[in-house]
Amino acid sequence: MNKLVVSPSPHARSAESVPKLMYGVMISLIPALGVSIYFFGISVLIITAVSVLSCVLFEFLIQKYMLKGKPSHKDGSAILTGMLLAFTLPANLPVWIVIIGALVAIGVGKMTFGGLGNNIFNPALVGRVFLFISFPVAMTSWPEPLQRLKYINAETGATPLAVMKEGMGKQPVSEIMNELPGYLDMFIGKMMGSVGEVAAIALLIGLIYLLWKKIITWHIPVTILATVVVFTGILWLIDPESYADPLFHLLTGGLLLGAIYMATDYVTSPMTKKGMIIYAIFIGIITVLIRVFGAYPEGVQFAILIMNAFVPLLNKYIKPKRFGKEVKHG
Amino acid sequence: MGLLTFSLGGIHPPENKISAGKKIESPGLPEIVTIPLAQHLGAPSKVVVARGDTVKTGQIIAEANGFVSTNIHSSVTGKVLKVDLFPDSSGYRRQAVQIQVEEDDWVEGIDLSDTLVKDFDKSQDEIRKIILNSGIVGLGGATFPSHVKLMTPKGKTAEYLIINGVECEPYLTADHALMLEKHDELIVGVRILMKGLGVEKAIIGIENNKPDAIKIMEKASAEFDSIVVKPLKVQYPQGGEKQLVQALLKREVPSGGLPIDVGVVAFNVGTVYASYLAVQKNRPLLERVVTVTGKSVKKPSNFLTRVGTPVSYLIEKAGGLPEDTAKVINGGPMMGKALSRLDVPIVKGSSGILLLMEEEAYRKETQSCIRCTKCVTVCPMGLEPYLLMTQAEKAMYEEMEGEKVMDCIECGSCVYTCPSSRPLLDYIRLGKGELGKILRARKAV
Ligand code: SF4
Ligand code: SF4
């Protein structure tokens, strides 16, 4: 017999691994991708493929030639960042802009901090917000659904949130709502919006899958959504003709995508359950503040990035419940 | 209501109880036994025999050296070959008595029959004395001298006796086998310990992956209102004292404290059985049930093994060392120690010998922390293993005190669950060690 292996306990490991978790998230994105392909057709495939490939390529190149570290492009995280970035873009965005977005997401959002695990901001959102600021026109023209074979040449229009922002204060909410798709259409994703954010139903299926596979816990997504519902609900109860109802806020824009996929990013969200809840409440509040009172129609991306910056602080001061500190009878 | 369990953290590794249902067997006597003098927590015992002496089975060969210490008995009859340093399961060489086995002639007055003796008339003091004289220590693995636990410190009151029949370590089945075969003896043992401790209530906690043990123990204890059996939901590390007390009574042992701080004293079923034998049969602790198991082991077994028996002897009796063995563990896969050699002896604290195959033996490559929070979620003590590891890496030992590193029970749940295979516990141990030095230095000033 060879020499015995000696190492400290434990001697058993779970089957968890980083790629497994990443692929789990990707699987949960399939319904949203499917619905998006159904409504926006071929352009979704182009955008997603370009985004994923460039993210992986940039990760590989930066690791190999600039950081000279262990190549990490195989752990799946770059593929996931690419998918999530694509999901936040309009389907008619030109390829070269997508590539710039990927470069910023990976290069600035992830690698400048030292790669996976060290970044403070969600890389996909860093890329998305950079594009939003640099290419405001291209990033706010949205193809209308069901022009499946068109790409950059698609007819465009405004998102429901933009229409709402435009009209608010000038005309009653009920009138604005008449110009918008019905709730059922919004629920299944038949409206204008980014590639992956339109289909509420598909995103919720993704959420259930993530919870079932224990890839994420309910704390962040549910708290964000609940906060938005409560906050917009209060405004709506005060004056239903000036403020849209909570359901409108839930179904439109990037809220579900943000709450389920962006805010829950492991690296950039808090390490304790209590921390997660505080983080999520603030994301909900900031989102509504921007949407209702701010300059932009949508605020969830900014809300998440702002709260990402507070995560180190939350981790420092919010500690898990320790065993044996105080005796609580439940 | 759901089944009881502890509330913070926890994992559920594959149970792999391959040897469950295997009857307790004797593996016979080896040619030579090596009996270490430090088999328990506390001061090593003082040896009272010398080279060339003839000793009988059950004869004291080393005496308790102080209050937190205990007696050690010869587990065989034969000639003392040497009192010297021998390698033990830690890999270090420590004082031990080596005996050439000649026969199995027990000391006068020990009852070797299997008849159940139910009644006892010993007083509390007598019970404590017998437990000390019989060399009984915690057989769950902690090996804390049992007589010390029976002496409630001033200012504290014991209210409950808790019996640990959880056996939450995967693979191990020694306690399970004992409950199935010695249930009536165990209940007598529980009554003895209740008296020794001076409490009116006892709770036996058993995880519900052992329904046969739950049933049989319930039946055996039915006539005593003061003894209840409570089934527990399977969750690791429920056998940890603090976790078990919390699961059964919803009482949290304070940080740095002992179960007695919340009115509880806990004993493992193996210890209860040893107490029965000591008080009712006058039999000192010189053998214990040891599970020998592993996926490629030919004859997974529960062996009633004499202390001092070489591990290699037990493996032979379980069908020999399989070709593909890469790691041999003294204990279970979560908290057991990997052995560097197989000639080391079984001691009072050895609950199992686990043989791991090549593909189970190695660690996976470490990746960066992705801050998935899984280690925080599973930690039964409410610690943040990822943070403790970072602090230990940066030698920030004093900061680790505030993060409660000393509360870590080294259960390994964090390492088990980490998707990046980070060696969290290695660093936490390092931190505990270094911080321990700092704390001792602070006290000395
Ligand atoms: S080994 Fe320590 S830090 Fe890790 S889970 Fe167990 S108690 Fe927590
Ligand atoms: S489980 Fe591992 S990867 Fe996850 S937070 Fe803990 S140390 Fe980091």
Tens digits of per-residue pLDDT, A215-242? 999 999 999 999 999 999 999 999 999 9
- Does residue B369 fall inside a structural domain? no
Contacts of A312 in chain B (CB under 8 A): none
Decide: B374 in ligand 2 pocket, CB within 6 A.
yes
- Does residue B391 fall inside a structural domain? yes
Closest C-alpha to A316, from B99, B142, B280, B391: B391
pLDDT for the residue numbered A165: 86
Q: What is the largest CA-CA distance in chain A?
A: 84
- Does residue B86 fall inside a structural domain? yes
Q: What distances in angstroms separate CA B42 from CA A91, A283, B75, B144, one per listed residue? A: 71, 54, 21, 8
Instruction: Tell which atom from ligand 1 comes closest to the C-alpha of B415.
Output: 4
Question: Do both B183 and B250 map to the same domain?
Answer: yes
B137 with B177: CB under 8 angstroms? no
What is the least distance, in Å, from the CA of A75 to any CA of chain B? Answer: 10
Question: Do both B179 and B211 map to the same domain?
Answer: yes
Range of the domain at B294: 28-110+284-360
- Does residue B14 fall inside a structural domain? no
Closest C-alpha to B374, from A273, A12, A124: A273
pLDDT for the residue numbered A208: 98
For chain B, the domain total comes to: 3
Q: Chain B 357-386, CB below 8 Å of chain A: which residues?
A: 360-364, 367-374, 376-377, 379-384, 386
| pLDDT per position as a tens digit, A90-99 | 999 999 999 9
SS3 B101: strand
C-alpha A91 chain-centroid distance = 16
Strand segments, DSSP code E, in chain A are 142-143, 156-157
| Phi-psi label, residue A160: left if phi above 0, alpha if psi -120 to 50, beta otherwise | alpha
Dihedral sign (CA A50, A55, A60, A65): positive
| Mean pLDDT over each residue of chain B, to the nearest integer | 94
Would you call A267 and B336 a contact, using CB atoms and an 8 Å cutoff? no
Residues B141-167 have a mean pLDDT of: 92
| Phi-psi label, residue B57: left if phi above 0, alpha if psi -120 to 50, beta otherwise | beta
Question: Do both B106 and B137 map to the same domain?
Answer: no
Q: Whose alpha carbon is nearest atom 5 of ligand 1?
A: B379
A13 and chain B in contact, CB less than 8 A: yes
Closest C-alpha to B418, from A117, A279, A183: A117
**pLDDT above 70 as % of chain A:** 96
Question: Do both B226 and B238 map to the same domain?
Answer: yes
| pLDDT per position as a tens digit, B393-424 | 999 999 999 999 999 999 999 999 999 999 99
Q: Count of CB atoms within 10 A of residue B154's CB?
A: 5
Nearest CA in chain B to A75: B367
Closest C-alpha to A91, from A47, A124, A121, A54: A47
- Does residue B60 fall inside a structural domain? yes
pLDDT for the residue numbered A170: 87
- The better pLDDT of the pair B405, A330 is held by B405
- Contacts of residue A64, defined as CB under 8 A and 6 or more positions apart, other chains included, come to A71
Q: What distances in angstroms separate CA A293 from CA A41, A132, B74, B262, one per listed residue? A: 34, 19, 83, 55
Which tokens sit at B90?
């830690």
B393 and chain A in contact, CB less than 8 A: no
Question: Do both B149 and B186 map to the same domain?
Answer: yes
CA–CA separation, B98 and B30 (whole Å): 12
Pairing of strands B301-306, B264-268: unpaired
B378 with B386: CB under 8 angstroms? no
**pLDDT above 90 as % of chain A:** 71
pLDDT for the residue numbered A71: 67
pLDDT for the residue numbered A156: 84
pLDDT for the residue numbered A327: 44
The strand order across the sheet containing B201-207 reads: B227-232, B201-207, B160-164, B264-268
Residues A65-77 have a mean pLDDT of: 76
Strand segments, DSSP code E, in B170-281 are 201-207, 227-232, 264-268
Domain boundary among B233, B255, B281: B281
Q: How many angstroms separate the alpha carbon of residue B381 from the centre of ligand 1? A: 7
pLDDT for the residue numbered B307: 95
pLDDT for the residue numbered A116: 82
Question: Do both B222 and B241 map to the same domain?
Answer: yes
A325 confidence band (pLDDT: 50, 70, 90): low
Decide: B179 in ligand 1 pocket, CB within 6 A.
no
Dihedral sign (CA B215, B219, B222, B224): negative
Closest C-alpha to B339, from B359, B350, B291, B408: B350
Question: Do both B352 and B418 map to the same domain?
Answer: no
- Does residue B106 fall inside a structural domain? yes
Closest C-alpha to B273, from B133, B160, B146, B105: B146
Q: Mean pLDDT lowest for which of A65-69, A83-87, A165-169, B173-177?
A: A65-69
By Cβ distance, the residue of B170, B340, B407 closest to A6 is B340
Nearest CA in chain B to A269: B371
Domain boundary among B255, B281, B307: B281
- Does residue B61 fall inside a structural domain? yes
Question: Do both B250 and B147 map to the same domain?
Answer: yes
CA–CA separation, A316 and B387 (whole Å): 10
* End-to-end CA, chain B: 52
| Structure-token match 């070709």, residue found | B323
Would you call A10 and B407 a contact, using CB atoms and an 8 Å cutoff? no
Q: Give backbone dihedrals phi and psi of A270, rounded to 5 degrees, phi first.
A: -65, 160
CATH of the domain at B348: 3.10.20.600
A215 with A37: CB under 8 angstroms? no
Q: What angle do CA B299, B271, B276 make, to 5 degrees?
A: 105
Q: Is the pLDDT of residue A32 over 80?
A: yes
pLDDT for the residue numbered A73: 61
Question: Do both B227 and B185 map to the same domain?
Answer: yes
Question: Do both B381 and B399 map to the same domain?
Answer: yes
- How many Cβ pairs within 8 Å bridge chains A and B? 166
Q: The pTM is what?
A: 0.91
Residues B3-23 have a mean pLDDT of: 92
Question: Do both B180 and B292 map to the same domain?
Answer: no
B432 and chain A in contact, CB less than 8 A: no
What is the least distance, in Å, from the CA of A6 to any CA of chain B? Answer: 5
Decide: B265 in ligand 1 pocket, CB within 6 A.
no
Pairing of strands B72-73, B77-87: unpaired
B295 and chain A in contact, CB less than 8 A: no
B391 with B340: CB under 8 angstroms? no
Helix (H) or strand (E) holding B245: helix B241-249
Q: Mean pLDDT lowest for which of A296-300, A306-310, B286-290, B383-387?
A: A296-300
Q: How many angstroms separate the alpha carbon of residue A178 from the centre of ligand 2? A: 49
SS3 B182: coil
By Cβ distance, the residue of A273, A322, A330 closest to B255 is A322
B336 confidence band (pLDDT: 50, 70, 90): very high
Q: Is the pLDDT of residue B76 over 80?
A: yes
Question: Do both B291 and B268 map to the same domain?
Answer: no
Query: SS3 string of B1-31?
Result: CCCECCCCCCECCCCCCCCCCCCEECCCCCC
The b-or-e profile of A114-139 (16+ CB within 10 A means b, else e) is: ebbbebebbbbbbbbbbbbeeeeebb
The b-or-e profile of B169-178 (16+ CB within 10 A means b, else e) is: bbbbbbbbbb
Calculate Rg over the CA atoms of chain B. Answer: 21
Q: Chain B 322-341, CB below 8 Å of chain A: which residues?
A: 323, 325-329, 331, 333-341
Q: Give backbone dihedrals phi and psi of B60, rounded to 5 degrees, phi first.
A: -70, 125
- Does residue B356 fall inside a structural domain? yes
Domain boundary among B240, B262, B281: B281
